[in-house]
């Protein structure tokens, strides 16, 4: 994934975290907070988002599922930019 697209994913994750109900990573916390970037963890997050009615989490989860594991690791390495700012 090129830098422009990665920057976009960071902004999307920040917007998700800025929502009061998702401040700790919401349905995606297994990946975004805990750093479990394997495909199975992403699929678990998508399933949890569906169960919770978290439509935005489902969409971001689908985007994460289309990323490589290496790119998900790159995204999580920028945790401070989306979760702590």
Predicted pLDDT of residue 4: 97
Mean pLDDT of 68-84: 95
Share of the chain above pLDDT 70, in %: 99
* Average pLDDT value over all residues in the chain: 95
CA–CA separation, 18 vs 41, rounded Å? Answer: 22
pTM: 0.93
DSSP label at residue 24: T
Predicted pLDDT of residue 25: 85
Using pLDDT thresholds of 50, 70 and 90, give the confidence band for residue 21: confident
CA–CA separation, 59 vs 9, rounded Å? Answer: 12
Is the pLDDT reported for residue 34 higher than 80?
yes
């Amino acid at each position: 994934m090129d830098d422009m697209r990665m920057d976009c994913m960071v902004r999307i994750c920040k917007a998700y975290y800025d929502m009061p109900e998702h401040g700790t990573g919401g349905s995606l916390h297994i990946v975004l907070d805990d750093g479990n970037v394997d495909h199975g963890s992403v699929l678990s997050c998508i399933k949890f988002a569906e169960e919770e009615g978290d439509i935005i989490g489902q969409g971001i989860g689908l985007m994460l599922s289309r990323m490589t594991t290496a790119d998900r690791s790159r995204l999580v390495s920028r945790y401070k930019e989306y979760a702590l700012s």
